[in-house]
Amino acid sequence: MGCREAVIRLDKLEAPYPPPESVLAALEKGLQELNKYSDEGLAEELRSELASHHGLEEDSVTLLGSRATAVLAVLGLVARLRKRRPRLVAPSPGLQELRRLLESHADGVIEVALVERDESWRIPLDELLGEIGRADLVVLDNPSDPTGSLILRSLGEARDLLEEACRRETIVLMDESFYEFSGFSIADLVEPYPCLIVMRSMEQAYALAGTGLVYLISSDKLAQELSRLVPQPSRLSLLAGLAALRNQGYYFKMVERLIAERERTRQLLLGLSGVYAYRSWSSFLLVRTSIERVAEKLCSQGVAVAGTTLGNNYARISIGNQGDNNSLLAALTRLLMEESKLS
């Protein structure tokens, strides 16, 4: 049901800061044209600028209106190619915000358990490679939700995965929604490995969660197939995306600021007895505590965080502004003090 009464919301994968004035001005102009449908010219312009910004071929970029729409498009593509509902390989835990959607449109999910290693989580590559032959589609998030970890950390590991997947004609969807925070991407491998599709989002690093704007990077052939399966993003989303891309300085500073605040908050969490905060390459932290039902108890303190499948003493905490993060730390400290009195 979520935490409806919370004043401080750190349960959503949202940027804590608004977009710049240039984006707001573009949206205001778009509102004056709300009677118009989405514009193919705007879509081509945004595709071109995204491709140029990332050093990609324009034809390799497919625009979509949400991560859910992107995932459904890929599932639909694989279903058309295999002429059946696809069988998936996915990490556990992983893909937290998309899990139910994937499970409801697949003919079963083969889970590969992440393992804790060096303050973070990794995917056992040998086990993953061994499962590819049983699947039509491999879906990975890197960094991973809810762990915040880079579960694949080298292009060598990625090539090993893609060699096996392409050999077996299995599609790989790599969700890189937090790429701007991790700095690691395999998007350059879409040309040599045509079974690869990379998903990127403008929701977090560009503070455009309200638009849901995402894009897929793939071979020209797959991009043509995907474009037939998806509606074009709304006119407002396209205008916001274009304005955001043209103000890189603002977003570079925002991401830098969020990373610094993430590290400050993590160190303060690590200073609390009974709390462990894993290393993160995203805009959130995975936290393990000695507190049972920690998300529920933080909600009672007015702070919303997301639970996870790892156990009710774990929480995924989005990085907010400094004031919100300090309120979280204070709430956790109160809960830990209450727990110590009971023990």
Does residue 2 sit within a domain?
A: no
- Same domain for 50 and 178, yes or no, is yes
- Same domain for 212 and 100, yes or no, is yes
139: nearest Cα among 73, 84, 64? 73
Does residue 3 sit within a domain?
A: no
- Same domain for 240 and 286, yes or no, is no
User: Sign of the CA dihedral 6, 9, 13, 14?
Assistant: positive
Do the Cβ atoms of 140 and 153 come closer than 8 Å? no
pLDDT at position 343, please?
66
Whole-model pTM?
0.96
Q: Which domain holds residue 51?
A: 21-246
Among 189, 212, 246, give the residue marking a domain's end: 246
Does residue 329 sit within a domain?
A: yes
Does residue 1 carry a pLDDT above 60? no
Does residue 1 sit within a domain?
A: no
Residue 9: strand, helix, or coil: strand
Does residue 218 sit within a domain?
A: yes
Among 246, 262, 287, give the residue marking a domain's end: 246
User: Which pLDDT band holds residue 340 (cuts at 50, 70, 90)?
Assistant: confident
Terminal-to-terminal C-alpha distance of the chain: 30
The CATH number that applies at residue 320 is 3.90.1150.10
- Same domain for 253 and 242, yes or no, is no
Give tens-digit pLDDT for 74-99: 999 999 999 999 999 999 999 999 99
Name the token pair of 210. 């309200």
The CATH number that applies at residue 125 is 3.40.640.10
